[in-house]
């Protein structure tokens, strides 16, 4: 069983950013409205995720770390549903197989909290403890027992960059939740949770980007797209200024990339890629869910239609403004 857990862990948990992603998604699923992520050394020595969500009842703490333990719906189709981010029940078992995990959690109904320590899949301690409502995960020394895997990690700075990118995507897709991200005791990201995507863009990308935003909204029978494009003078040499979400989940899509490029084509840009942040509401049936759960590539059944919708919407948005 341990070997199986380790193999499975490799699929889901590649690096600190994947740990953070799974833990933050769990916090979101637990209805937290404030989530703090603190990492040290790119997350390789320490990752701490604290939320004020519903907590885990004492009698469910141990089972939450078993493979395929999930309190959520578990169909593959649920992957891109609005309701719940996690569904596979693999994250906690995978993380605890390859790191030293310490959990403190408390539900509102319970008088005391629980502290649980599980190192390399082996239980170390299970105690009652005073704690605020919510959950804190501490993940220490990722891949300490799988040195081969540790070798694939990049520098602390690079790994921290991956975590930060991921935090940006989660923050943008959950404007109603306040996020804090701290690396080596330095505050990197703070969002207020006031529900306004524009404020988050301001905090993360700065005033120049926020000042250049044009709201975009378009829809047809199958798809609704909302968000912002920026005036063409705000551009970059890479795609770090582009974020796309489907039903609230960050994705990558070559068809959307192409549509954006086409939409901006007739405008003069300094660099190749514009700032864009768009959320697509689309029926699951029109998505190819036959993709690996941790990969963010997505394919649309009606790619052509999406392409045209986006091109037209971008052009219309840009044309209606003084650029």
| Nearest CB to ligand ADP, comparing residues 55 and 193 | 55
| Nearest CB to Mg ion, comparing residues 86 and 232 | 86
> Distance between CA atoms of 323 and 314, rounded to whole angstroms?
13
| Nearest CB to ligand ADP, comparing residues 56 and 260 | 56
| Nearest CB to Mg ion, comparing residues 118 and 225 | 118
Report the nearest approach of ligand ADP to the CB of residue 178 (Å).
15
Tokens of 190: 């703070």
Report the nearest approach of ligand ADP to the CB of residue 281 (Å).
23
| Nearest CB to Mg ion, comparing residues 86 and 227 | 86
* Binding at 164: pick from Mg ion, ligand ADP, none (beta carbon under 5-8 Å per type): none
Report the nearest approach of ligand ADP to the CB of residue 36 (Å).
12
* Binding at 54: pick from Mg ion, ligand ADP, none (beta carbon under 5-8 Å per type): ligand ADP
* Binding at 27: pick from ligand ADP, Mg ion, none (beta carbon under 5-8 Å per type): ligand ADP
> Distance between CA atoms of 39 and 160, rounded to whole angstroms?
8
Residue nearest to ligand ADP (CB): 86
| Nearest CB to ligand ADP, comparing residues 56 and 204 | 56
Q: Interface with ligand ADP by CB under 6 A: which residues?
A: 22, 26-27, 30, 51, 53-56, 64, 69-72, 86-92, 135
* Binding at 135: pick from Mg ion, ligand ADP, none (beta carbon under 5-8 Å per type): ligand ADP
Report the nearest approach of ligand ADP to the CB of residue 114 (Å).
12
| SS (HEC) of the chain | CHHHHHHHHHHHCCCHHHHHHHHHHHHHHCCCCEEEEEEEHHHCCEEEEEECCCCCCHHHHHHHCCCCCCCCCCCHHHHHCCCCCCCCCCHHHHHHHCCEEEEEEECCCCCCEEEEEEECCEEEEEEEECCCCEEEEEEECCCCCCHHHHCCCCCHHHHHHHHHHHHHHHHHHCCCCEEEEEECCEEEEECCCCCCHHHHHHHHHCHHHHHCEEEEEEECCCEEEEEEEECCCCEECCHHHEEEEECCEEEECHHHHHHHHHHHCCCCCCCCEECEEEEEEECHHHEECCCCCCCCECEECCHHHHHHHHHHHHHHHHHCCCC
Report the nearest approach of ligand ADP to the CB of residue 87 (Å).
5
* Binding at 303: pick from ligand ADP, Mg ion, none (beta carbon under 5-8 Å per type): none
| Nearest CB to ligand ADP, comparing residues 75 and 320 | 75
Report the nearest approach of ligand ADP to the CB of residue 65 (Å).
7
């Amino acid at each position: 069983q341990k070997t199986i857990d380790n193999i499975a862990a490799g699929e889901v948990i590649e690096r600190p950013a994947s740990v953070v992603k799974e833990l933050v998604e769990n916090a979101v699923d637990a209805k937290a409205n404030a989530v703090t992520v603190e990492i040290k050394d790119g997350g390789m020595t320490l990752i701490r995720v604290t939320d004020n969500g519903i907590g885990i009842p004492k009698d469910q703490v141990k089972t939450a770390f078993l493979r395929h333990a999930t309190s959520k719906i578990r169909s593959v189709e649920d992957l891109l549903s609005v309701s719940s981010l996690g569904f596979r029940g693999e994250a906690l078992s995978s993380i605890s197989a390859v790191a030293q995990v310490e959990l403190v959690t408390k539900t509102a109904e319970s008088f005391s909290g629980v502290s649980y320590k599980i190192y390399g899949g082996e239980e170390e301690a299970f105690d009652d403890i005073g704690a605020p409502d919510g959950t804190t995960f501490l993940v220490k020394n990722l891949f300490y027992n799988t040195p081969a895997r540790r070798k694939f990690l990049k520098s602390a700075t690079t790994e921290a960059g991956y975590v930060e990118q991921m935090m940006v995507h989660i923050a943008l897709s959950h404007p109603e939740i306040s996020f804090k991200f701290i690396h080596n005791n330095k505050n990197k990201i703070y969002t207020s949770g006031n529900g306004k995507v524009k404020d988050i863009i301001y905090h993360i990308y700065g005033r120049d980007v926020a000042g250049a935003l044009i709201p975009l909204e378009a829809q047809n029978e199958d798809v609704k797209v909302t968000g912002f494009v920026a005036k063409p003078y705000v551009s970059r040499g890479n795609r770090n200024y582009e974020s796309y979400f489907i039903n609230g989940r960050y994705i990558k899509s070559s068809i959307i990339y192409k549509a954006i490029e086409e939409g901006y084509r007739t405008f003069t840009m300094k660099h190749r890629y514009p700032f864009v942040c768009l959320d697509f509401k689309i029926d699951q049936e029109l998505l190819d869910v036959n993709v690996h759960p941790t990969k963010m590539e997505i394919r649309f059944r009606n790619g052509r239609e999406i392409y045209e919708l986006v091109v037209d919407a971008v052009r219309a948005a840009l044309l209606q403004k003084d650029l």
